Amino acid sequence: MTGGAGFVGGHVVASLVATGARVRVLDDFSTGSMDNLCHARTLGLADADIRAVDIAALEGQQEIRDWRPSVVVHLAANAAFARSIRDPYLDARINVLGTIGVLAAAASCGAEKVVLASSGGTVYGELPAGAARLAEDAPRTPVSPYGLSKLTADRYAELYRELFGLPHTALALANVYGPGQDPGAGVVAATARAVATGRRPLIYGDGRQTRDFVHVSDVAEAFRRAVNAPPCATVNIGTGIETRIADVVAEVCRCFGVPTTPRYAPERPGEVTRICLDNRRAAELLGWRPTVGLVEGIAGVVDTLRAPEPAGA
């Protein structure tokens, strides 16, 4: 698995190891952490199967060829939207060239399939006015470098299927959140960290933008099912529920028991106004449905950040 030491990757590794799979983690640890692999290691992930390599470099691709896995799970990516705006070259190197290298290595070593993370929050672009959800056959018109690089990676996976017979499943993830997420990677984590450290949360734009928030434990289960299911091209992994950013911020503040007094900053370029994914295909092909509601999931994030009670209190 590439990117296995990341926020999502660590949960996916643990989910697979728990079912008896042998997993080898490839990660350059530029954003990943051994902390994200603690649970997987207690379940049996061997230290020898954790390799610090760059999958966009030849050494990372050679690791895949040497190991000859039956399934390649590809999660390594630049997942930072803002970073893609600042440095689209780096974003493309990781998300496009890295994916090409992984696909080439998987095809050359005879892998049965590749399961890769796509971005349901960016590859489709704007949810059309009047539409409730985006299905997998919706037009794809990304409006950010990150969305474009993830769409390009998806297209390469499709080409490798057509040209080299390498099957794949691309899970188009909605906005993933959960305990342990980097505060720079999502509004739930950023807001919770701000409130936990006594700062006012920040909202870009007016807060009426909407997202489809899916818990990381549900995402890990989707990957586990995709690894064990027949390849099925693109599958949306989201809740099908559209939630305003301002409402998420308010719920985090409510869980902490503090007033909702956000700061506002100009809307960031390249962000869409509305996102919501149709998840019926995931139910049909993977037997997957989300199980963690947003209120419950936010409470779990807050619980991990809440300061402990002083001794004797």
From residue 147, how far is each of 45, 112, 272, 292 by CA, in Å? 32, 27, 10, 26
**Is 177 among the catalytic positions?**
no
303: its two tokens: 């619980």
DSSP letters along 216-249, please?
A: HHHHHHHHHHHHHSPP-EEEEES-S--EEHHHHH
Report the C-alpha gap between 258 and 24 in whole angstroms: 43
Do 282 and 174 meet the contact criterion of CB atoms below 8 Å apart? Answer: no
Q: Residue holding tokens 């070593």?
A: 109
Torsion sign, CA atoms 305, 306, 307, 312: negative
Q: Which of 193, 184, 175 lies closest to 241 in space, CA to CA?
A: 175
Catalytic residue among 146, 156, 160, 177: 146
Name the residue type at position 248: V
DSSP letter string, 178-228: -TT--GGG-HHHHHHHHHHTT---EEETTS--EE-EEEHHHHHHHHHHHHH
DSSP 8-state symbol, 169 = E
List active site positions.
146
